Chain A
Amino acid sequence: DQQVKQNSPSLSVQEGRISILNCDYTNSMFDYFLWYKKYPAEGPTFLISISSIKDKNEDGRFTVFLNKSAKHLSLHIVPSQPGDSAVYFCAASEGYGGSQGNLIFGKGTKLSVKP
């Protein structure tokens, strides 16, 4: 039972254009959401996060949007660069302390940015 779903296993975008990565979740108790980027043979690297009290958070070229009613979040990368080519993981957690604070990860979306 996947609580965090990334339905697109891959995405290809031209350099300079916008990349939009999507993530859906089923647990309405999730209140903290994160995006991680992962290069081959490396660990995931934290990119950006958002709490459920916000609907948008921006950091440079990266913006995360949260739509709580739709249980959907997205990561926008503008403009996309070839160095952004990686696997992007969406993660979510609920509550504080104990197992409820676990990060639940999606399966990842592989982004390819073509020069």
Chain B
Amino acid sequence: DTAVSQTPKYLVTQMGNDKSIKCEQNLGHDTMYWYKQDSKKFLKIMFSYNNKELIINETVPNRFSPKSPDKAHLNLHINSLELGDSAVYFCASSQGLPGQYYEQYFGPGTRLTVT
């Protein structure tokens, strides 16, 4: 039974399109995150939500809009896709707030390719 799931696993689209990535966790965690792993393989935090409220936004362009309908879901919508958005996007969740000594559990990732 998957703890953190993401759909789709692969997404190929053209520049200028709008796309969404969905994430769900069944761990009962309060906090969910989106990370981006770029071509240099660095994993960087983009957003963090706690109980549906945004708590971290790491200066991500406003073309990226996370939405949390409930604390088990955190979806990522991207408008006007650009070539530089090509990356692997990971969703994660944790029991407590960032910095509260709780490990984060990651989903399998969504590989986004913008052509």
Contact = CB atoms under 8 A, between A and B. Distances in A.
The answer to whether A and B belong to the same complex is yes
Interface of A: 32, 34, 36, 41-46, 49, 51, 89, 91, 93-103, 105, 107-108
A88 B45 CA distance: 18
Contacts of B103: 34, 46, 49
A44 B90 contact: yes
Given A43-B106, A97-B55, 15 more contacts: A34-B103, A41-B108, A91-B43, A96-B98, A97-B97, A97-B98, A99-B56, A101-B56, A102-B99, A103-B45, A103-B104, A105-B42, A105-B44, A107-B40, A107-B42
Interface of B: 4, 40-45, 48, 55-56, 58, 90, 92, 97-101, 103-109
Contact of A45 (B48, B99, B106): B106
A102 B98 contact: yes
